[in-house]
Amino acid sequence: MIETLVEKCPRVETERLVLRKWEERDLDEYIRLSSDPRVTEYYRSTPSSEVCEAALQSTLKSQEENGFCFPVVEDKQSGAFLGFCGLSIPDYSDLLPCEPCVEIGWQLFPEAWGKGIAGEAARFWLSFGFDTLQLDEVVAFTVVQNHRSRRVMEKLGMVHDPADDFDFPGTDPKHPLCRNVLYRLSKKRFLEQLNG
């Protein structure tokens, strides 16, 4: 991975979207997104406003320190905050079995679902990750039941090997949202798909 002199989260425009870093002004929309029960259906908890505020501060810090931050997704025409999608380095309280790794993740307001928006943003960040950042692999994970998110992973050509599945660390193994599926995409496979 290139460690210096590369802006890891540039502001870019895709066909319908603006992808950019987080700003302080995003807090209200981030809280609204994180407290929507349709969005958090497959999350083990719903963060309070205080937790969102702390999470935003931590994201602002990590995007300065290491450049990765699950970037914001905006509607290009209206400027509306749609959610976030992009690359990040896992920073959970316990180590995941797939670490060290770079993950790709997404979370959008339900009004934006079903239009291929996560895929449009993710395709840019994957191409940026492999071409510019010279990553060898990007992973994604979600709970077994989150078929919407899994479908996005599959449409991106990510590969699921059940041998990689894992119980989320620190979670009661009997919790219905404990088991996670892991999908991987190698640079080699990404380039093969690109070149048909």
Ligand X SMILES: CC(C)(COP(=O)(O)OP(=O)(O)OC[C@H]1O[C@@H](n2cnc3c(N)ncnc32)[C@H](O)[C@@H]1OP(=O)(O)O)[C@@H](O)C(=O)NCCC(=O)NCCS
Least distance in Å: CB of 3 to ligand X? 27
> What are the CA-CA distances from residue 37 to residues 3, 41, 43, 44 (Å)?
38, 6, 9, 11
Least distance in Å: CB of 134 to ligand X? 25
* Secondary structure E strands in 43-146: 72-75, 81-88, 103-108, 137-143
Which residue number, 94 or 111, has a Cβ lying nearer to ligand X?
A: 111
Show the tokens assigned to 59: 């994201």
Which residue number, 128 or 168, has a Cβ lying nearer to ligand X?
A: 168
Least distance in Å: CB of 7 to ligand X? 25
The DSSP H or E segment spanning 187 is helix 187-194
Locus of tokens 């679902």:
113
Contacts with ligand X, residue ranges (CB under 6 A):
39, 42, 83, 105-108, 113-119, 142, 146-149, 151-152
CB atoms within 10 A of CB 188: 11
Which residue number, 2 or 97, has a Cβ lying nearer to ligand X?
A: 97
Which residue number, 33 or 135, has a Cβ lying nearer to ligand X?
A: 33
